[in-house]
Structure 1
Amino acid sequence: MRALWIVLLLLSGQALAWDGYDSDAGDSVSIESGNLVRPGEMIEFYDYSSGEYRDAEVESINRYGSSVEVEVYDHDSGEYRTFDMED
């Protein structure tokens, strides 16, 4: 029983990503745990199409049923992007 608690404590500290896709490009993106996804905040996300981490400013957040639409300004590309994230 003690070993189970130790394993649960170790696993609970692992960072989880918020997965979704870029609705314009149709490619997957991940927002790592620890990013405050709120309008006006800077976030770091992983762009699977480029294979690199990018920085973006959150412009807006909208919930549609079981998904969340996050509009960001990608500072690396200079473009606005819309992410459809899993809820």
Structure 2
Amino acid sequence: MKKITITLAFFAAIMSSNIYAWEGVDNDSGSDIEIESGNLVRAGEEIEYYDHDYGEYRSADVESVESSGSGAEVEVYDHESGEYRTFEME
């Protein structure tokens, strides 16, 4: 019984970690942004994020990541718009 409980707790932890997103706001537009789990948010990496103003997933190159208080400021180059964007992430 103990093995079953431990196994179920392990799978619940794994499954719940897949549903979380890193939430933030675009500094210029005020759009809510979500970076889904599984994206490696580091300079030089490509990420996919959800932009609530556009109502779609978009892809971007991460230019920089800087800690800011309890979150981080993430500067990206958006592939679809061809513009640089800055996100304040929680």
Do they superpose with TM above 0.5? yes
Partners of 1:21 and 1:8 in 2: CA distance? 33
Partners of 1:7 and 1:51 in 2: CA distance? 35
**Among 59, 70, 73, which residue is 2:63 paired with?**
59
**Among 32, 35, 38, which residue is 1:31 paired with?**
35
Structure 2, unmatched stretches of 5+, are none
Looking at CA atoms only, which structure, 1 or 2, has the larger radius of gyration? 2
Higher helix share: 2
Identity of aligned residues (%): 55
Aligned to 2:11: 10
Superposed, which structure 2 residues align to 1:41-80 within 5 Å?
41-80=45-84
- The Cα of 1:10 is off from its aligned counterpart by 3.1
Partners of 2:79 and 2:29 in 1: CA distance? 17
- Can you list the C-alpha shifts for 1:9-37, whole angstroms capped at 9, x where unaligned? 33312311111111111010000111110
Structure 1, unmatched stretches of 5+, are none
TM-score normalised over the length of structure 2: 0.85
TM-score normalised over the length of structure 1: 0.88
Question: How large is the RMSD of aligned CA atoms in angstroms?
Answer: 1.5
